[in-house]
Amino acid sequence: LAKTTQPISMDSYEGQEVNITCSHNNIATNDYITWYQQFPSQGPRFIIQGYKTKVTNEVASLFIPADRKSSTLSLPRVSLSDTAVYYCLVGTEGDSSYKLIFGSGTRLLVRP
């Protein structure tokens, strides 16, 4: 069964770097890995996307190993406003056809 796995929760302090890993063993060959952030009562919001190696933008970095079976979202120097739920989204190829699957989400709490 195609599955996308993330830690349920993480705690951090302001100014620290946070790394959240998503496992996606059955990622589709040509698919991208995308990460989203969600605040309460809002829809998910795009953070970063990549296909392989490393991608960096103004808010995060995304590390993808050569086998692409996992990915790590890195948030440098988190602040209180980064407290949210973070999801990975990948397309997977399992027993049946292609499926777009969100991870279960990682609830990040940033403390002062």
Partner 1 sequence: DAGVIQSPRHEVTEMGQEVTLRCKPISGHDYLFWYRQTMMRGLELLIYFNNNVPIDDSGMPEDRFSAKMPNASFSTLKIQPSEPRDSAVYFCASSLGQSEYEQYFGPGTRLTVT
Residues that bind partner 1 (CB under 8 A): 31-32, 34, 36, 41-46, 49, 87, 89-91, 96-102, 104-105
- DSSP type of residue 60: -
User: Residue 18 half-sphere exposure, CB side, CA atoms within 13 Å?
Assistant: 27
> CB within 8 A of 69, min separation 6: which ones?
23, 24, 25, 27
Is the Cβ–Cβ distance between 69 and 84 less than 8 Å? no
Nearest distance in Å: CB 50, partner 1? 11
User: By C-beta, is 59 or 80 nearer to partner 1?
Assistant: 59
Q: How far is the CB of 46 from partner 1 (least distance, A)?
A: 4
Residue among 78 and 103 whose Cβ is closer to partner 1: 103
Q: Letter for the amino acid at 77?
A: R
Residue placing its CB nearer to partner 1 in the complex, 13 or 46: 46
